[in-house]
Amino acid sequence: MNWTRERLYWYLKAGERSEYPRVFTEKIKPFLKKEDRVLDIGSGPGLFARELVSYVKIFYNLEPEELPRNYLEKMAKDNGKIKTIPGSWPQEIPEIIFDVTISSFSGSGVMVNQGSLEKIIEKTKRHIFLVAPAGPKDFGAGLEKATSPLPYENTEAALNNLGLNYQVELILFDFGQPVKDMEEATAFLAQQLKISPQMARNHAGRIALRDGDGLYLPNSRKSALIRIDLP
């Protein structure tokens, strides 16, 4: 993701109001231990860290882009258990073996590439959790079509080639966007869907829900949570 200040702001607001990432972190929590070192590959501004850090010893966030990393550094000042690793997977990974590794929507270079998956396995003791899309993300506009095979199926194929046992759960959830008014809704949808402002405003008028003093743009998503339990 190419982070801008506007995109970071929207992403953080969506993380507060929508079901993401809690729909996934609630399923990860039972597998965590207080002494765990956890790695989040491509963590962005640390939505998973925010939800899970209190359950583990140290939560490492690997993030290549400066804007979300700066936000992570602010979190780290308030919570010494949050650590930031600048750089990309797997070049800048420290010489640490992690108890649990998480990677959510981090792309095919991390979650489909067989060499990358082998590296994740090498660096992880117990559990790996991968979150991959299983459908389009179009805010109900029907403008973005899912590829075939879907990304999580590509990950499954790579895991099968490695002879690994894994569990897959398809999860429906809302990853909608809170906005203050129709002007912001228009700007958000125009950027998200790559459509004209007029089309974005028309679509916002169809889907926007009143939410306190602002509006909410619901976004039904389906993704796969892939869990690999290591021997």
Number of domains in the chain: 1
For the record, the structure tokens of 222 come out as 């389906």
Is 183 within a domain? no
Task: Give the CATH number, domain containing residue 153.
Answer: 3.40.50.150
Is 192 within a domain? no
pTM, 2 dp: 0.94
Name the residue with tokens 């690999």.
228
Burial 117-136 (b: 16+ CB within 10 A, else e): bebbeebbebbbbbbbbbbb
pLDDT in tens for each of the 231 residues of the chain?
789 999 999 999 999 999 999 999 999 999 999 999 999 999 999 999 999 999 999 999 999 999 999 999 999 999 999 999 999 998 878 889 999 999 999 988 899 999 999 999 999 999 999 999 998 777 887 765 444 456 899 999 999 999 999 999 999 999 999 999 999 999 999 999 999 999 999 999 999 999 999 999 999 999 999 999 998
> What is the extent of the structural domain holding 156?
5-175+220-229
Is 189 within a domain? no
Name, in order, each residue with C-beta under 8 angstroms of 66's C-beta and a sequence gap of 6 or more: 3
Is 143 within a domain? yes
Is 200 within a domain? no
